[in-house]
Structure 1
Amino acid sequence: MPYTNAPVIEVTGLGKSYDGTPVLSGLDLSLTSGVHALLGPNGAGKTTLVNILTTLVPHDAGSVRVLGLETRTDAARIRERISVTGQFAAVDDVLTGAENLVMMGRLLGLSVRDARSRAAVLLERFDLDSAASRRVVGYSGGMRRRLDLAVSLIQTPEILFLDEPTTGLDARSRLVLWQQIRELAEGGTSVFLTTQYLEEADELADQVVVLDGGRIVAQGSSAQLKARVGGDVLQVRGAHGQLLRELPTDGSAAGVAAAAAAVAATEPTLRVELHRPTLDDAFLALTGHRAVPPDDSDTGQDVNDQSEFVGSGVAS
């Protein structure tokens, strides 16, 4: 499943309202193969957009095509080619980890033998093989999340949609999921994920899309978005660490060194620090909000999105 330059997601003039309140307005988006991160403050419309792209919710206006297929008329064909993992793990607590995977494999038409074989592969890939025979009710949050993602990969999708996949996970579980996303991308699966962790977007995404107030306010690589904020600056600080002023630089090592030397020559008691723009700086400049990662106990759902994300695994 090699990457191509053809758009895998094409959105034109997308509009969606709930009870007369616009959630998405005049949204245009075109994405080719790769890993794409959707950022935005709570209530920006991220989950609503994912629901529309995965055919779970109809749009009110505009055109939406996924893998070249129109979501209104070709929903069934789109669902055959994508997988979805929502914000809430949708696995069966009564079944074991292995039974959950085998059940989904059988529902997707695999033979008992093939379903068991695929389950074994995925349990090992997601570091769940030692818990394969345990009932899911006893799994930790990280284990449930990894199992949920494994369920969505019973069949290898062309696009995997992940709605805040690592919200509430510990650092180790987050790193495990990041590695799985990278491996999927290397294998040719495109990934479209929403996240409130800017580090996650910075680490994983080829393209970052920033959504605010139901509209796309920026799109580009992480480096391109950071560049929009400005280049490297020297921060001049006083004896107690207070920021006194910032000095722009040309970004080169020689330019930075020269600017720092100039400060030291005239004001030797001051401290000089190099500050490079971060994705958080870009997010603040673009939306007027600092990105606040959710607490581990937070579901991370867009509180103003009025459609609840339903379903997990391969949409059907």
Structure 2
Amino acid sequence: MDVLRLLRQMDSLDFMGYHRRNRPVDRGEAQRMDYFGDPYIDATWKANVPQGLLDRIRSWIVRTPVTEEIRPGRQVEVAPWPERIDETGAVVFRESDRPEYEKMKNETIKPDVVVFCTGYTHHYPFLGDHRYDEEYYEGKLVRKIWLRDDPSLGFIGFVRPNLGAIPPLTEFQAQLWVLNLLAPERVKRPLLPSDEPHYQLMRKNNARIRYGVDHESYAYQLALDMGSAPSFIDVLRIGFSSGNGGWYKLPLTWALSANFNTKFRLLGPWKWDGAPGVMNTELWDTVARRQIFFGHFTLSVVPMLIFGPMSFIVFLCASLYQFLRNIFRMLAPNRWKYGNNPERGSLLF
């Protein structure tokens, strides 16, 4: 079947979230599976042999799979945006200087199926009044889920993570929303707007996507709100009591893996008794099979070396700011009391 796949926008995939045969898969394994398209798309533009000295060195250190070795004769052609479909059923592509146009302009493509991945807009006419427009909710949603003055209306699954998939975050959102509705006293912390900027992705004023979040930070923030984020002591305690090597598997899986939903089912209002078993088996496998250098070192050690000192400096600055702020608050009454008293002098400058 000659199928033209028009991909206008390719979103990031949550490689650790996809499952095959009921077990998680990592990026390397996903590249060898039928449903993952990157090797097939890259095949058209990938040189058969390394180009240049640096490319040869890179190829000697790490070699990406070649499509012909995975699935001979199968690849996906990347085409430019279509101008129209003529009377014969062939696609006429929009002229451009991009390499995919140069490759496809002389090809006769008569697609059986055309998929337009044009995206969507948020519009809620069924809500009526002023609530139909997404601009009404800009900056008003608690954790990007519900209005602060109307928690009965929840928006689940509308955030866009930078890396990772939307469905896992949807589960976190549903958990927090339901918990706040049915048992608000079990929400462990005030849901302050000041806790939200750290997971919101920076954007331009005219950006189309205005609801981007950092997957790891957003997931952890919602877990903190629900009291589902275990401490290091909790992780050790649960690991020692779980058996099956959990005394070392569970802490390592917790530290070296992404923020899987299972990590936040170890305790809290949504505790699941099967979570330690999954951590010690399925999720442990995703950690144990990584390569030492291109797995653990590049994905764990290097980020810790870069962001660890930065986080420590930010922590020190924040602690100093809080200390000075408390001192200022203690002195503030005297400052305002004597500031306008000419006999006592002025503390205001």
TM-score range, shorter chain: under 0.3
- TM-score, normalising length: structure 2: 0.21
Greater relative contact order (Cα < 8 A, sep 6+): 1
- TM-score, normalising length: structure 1: 0.23
Greater Rg, structure 1 or structure 2?
A: 2
Structure with more of its chain in helix, by fraction = 2
